[in-house]
Amino acid sequence: MLDKFITPIIKPLLTPVVMLMHKRGITADQLTVVGFLVGLLAVPLLAFEMWYGALVAIALNRILDGLDGALARYANQSSSAGGFLDITLDFLFYAAIPLGFILANPEQNAIAGSLLLATFIGTGSSFLAFAIAAEKFKLEKPQFKYKSFYYLNGLTEGTETIALFIAFCIWPQHFAIMASIFAIACGITIFTRIHGGYHTLKQQEADANKAAENMPSSANSEVIND
């Protein structure tokens, strides 16, 4: 929900760093992989209740995630392969953080963490499934034109998720309640994405079928007029 407001603010701040990285020969895909590996360090740190160390790893992951896309665009390296790598590793990172809290305190966090992971699957699958169909119909990307595929909006997006992870690390004793509340918000996102995505695609299919039906008649009229 907040991504469309936060992204335009952060994007200009990354430009100087991106220019320096490009001069050093660093590629966007390299940043994506390094950022993912740094983010995974949060899991053992969380498991051993090193909350602020995990917070640093999470923050670095998100900074590198912002830099990789900016670098790809600056260096004209944007590609479907890079977009695929980025979003796949992002979702793996998102799933890893609740796992770290579950490992830290299974008795207190297991149920809420599992519920959060289940709703993450729902938000992720609805997001990616719509992106595939949107590519088929060549839908425009009004808010994220620079992305490699269509971003379907929702109540819980990247900005909200990172804010949640930060809150987890600052107040780990309240993980269960925060995870449960966010899982409900994810449930709302899942519903709105399925409802909105389904009806959007139904309309696109209807428009495509109507256009296909009209094409032969237009062609015939042109032949008669000739």
Residue positions annotated with a catalytic role = 90
State phi, psi for 145 to the nearest 5 degrees: -65, -25
Closest CA to 27 of 63, 98, 95, 79: 79
Q: Please say whether the beta carbons of 31 and 71 come within 8 A.
A: yes
Q: What is the DSSP letter of 153?
A: -
Helix residue spans in the chain (DSSP H): 3-23, 28-40, 42-47, 51-74, 80-104, 106-136, 158-170, 175-225
Q: Please say whether the beta carbons of 54 and 100 come within 8 A.
A: yes
Distance between CA 186 and CA 181 in Å, rounded? 9
Which tokens in the block code for residue 159? 């900005």
Using CB atoms within 10 A of its CB, is residue 15 exposed (0-12), middle (13-18) or buried (19+)? exposed
Taking each helix axis from N to C terminus, what angle separates 80-104 and 51-74, rounded to the nearest 10 degrees?
Answer: 180
